[in-house]
Structure 1
Amino acid sequence: MPKMIASGTLPILVKTPSLIDGRRKFDGGIADPLPVEKAYKMGAKKIIVIRTYEKKFRRKLKLENYIGALLSSQYPSLKKALLKHDKTYNRALDFINNPPHDCEIIQLCPPKKLQSKRDTKNIEFLKADYKLGKSVAEEFLNSFMAS
């Protein structure tokens, strides 16, 4: 259970990180937002990536990363991860788009920008995005089953 709690521990929103084996842990999506290289290095040769951004999306460093880094000075690793989050994300996209010859990567991406954000409470936005995600998944499954 502590690892599940840590996976949702977002910097700034949560003042105290989770402790696992005596080490402070935050949401792993900060340090490795699309862990495809790690999966490949662990032996995965067919990887399905489910994304919340359109296929063409590339991350840019946002003001919130700078603010988070300033407020995270007591956690040097977190500060470093926040300041290079855009580069880490985009490097993973490069790996996804140009995988090694012995690796197949399938991306499931929404065809347009989602209406909801990380903290959205608007039920209609959430329902619309859920419906969109479900249709992308159904389309993938239908083509997968046909092949």
Structure 2
Amino acid sequence: MVAANAQNGEAQYFTKADLHPDDYRVLMASCCIPVIDQPCVIDGVPYFDGGLADPVPLEWAFAHGCDRVALILTKPIGQVSSDARDKHLAHLLQSHYPAAAEGLRRRVWRYNTAVQRAWELERQGLVCIIAPDSTEGMSTLTKNRAGLERMYAKGKQDAEALVRWMQNAKQDESVGT
């Protein structure tokens, strides 16, 4: 999991060693939406959603020993995001957390660049991308239960492709390719 340090804008990567029973701060920090939420504080450091610093942490995963990466996107492949909303929110964040505001201004560019890289790695068999065909009009903060349930069911169905990819990877390893 990744969170963005609100003070310096840098990515902070958390591993399972950072997770503790009944302490959900790492999870909270990794999805703490700037302006909407106050930063989540861990050991005196305020954090926001990791998307500000590293929205798709592929390079980190490969640099830390992963041979293959499963990438689960919340938007359809090819859907290019606009940064207009982020720029507005960055303006609101600027006075308290200027580095986080800069990360927010660059978030869409970082995301689109990382997804482009993921497509390249997918063609090489190193990444499996799971993405919805449609968001069905839903957004990050939706409360549409029926829509969420449809997206959940579709996600379970799409996960079958991930299982096949993982099985193929195991077969490739057993024959030495």
Distance in 2 between the 1:128 and 1:32 partners? 28
Matched, 1:70 2:91: yes
Distance change in 2, residues 1:134/1:101 (3 Å): closer
Report % sequence identity: 26
Q: Return the TM-score normalized by structure 2.
A: 0.71
How many residue pairs get matched? Answer: 145
Letter in 2 for 1:38: W
Counterpart for residue 76 of structure 2: 54
Question: Given that residues 37 and 95 in structure 1 are in contact (C-alpha distance below 8 angstroms), is that contact kept between their aligned partners in structure 2?
Answer: no
Per chain length, whose mean CA-contact separation is higher, i.e. which structure has more relative contact order (CA < 8 Å, sep 6+)? 1
Task: Show structure 1 runs of 4+ deviating over 4 A.
Answer: 100-103, 142-147
Q: What is the SS of the residue equivalent to 2:163? A: helix
Q: What is the SS of the residue equivalent to 2:127? A: strand
Letter in 2 for 1:126: L
Q: Structure 1: where are the runs of 5+ without partners?
A: none
Mapping for residues 1-147 of structure 1, pairs under 5 Å: 1=23, 2-14=25-37, 16-62=38-84, 64-73=85-94, 74-99=96-121, 104-142=126-164, 145=167
* CA shift digits 1:68-127 (9 cap, x unpaired): 111111111111111111111011112212239987011011123344221211221111
* CA shift digits 1:11-30 (9 cap, x unpaired): 1111x312223221111122
Q: Return the TM-score normalized by structure 1.
A: 0.84
Q: Structure 2: where are the runs of 5+ without partners?
A: 1-22, 172-177
Distance in 2 between the 1:137 and 1:121 partners? 23
Question: Given that residues 70 and 162 in structure 2 are in contact (C-alpha distance below 8 angstroms), is that contact kept between their aligned partners in structure 1?
Answer: no
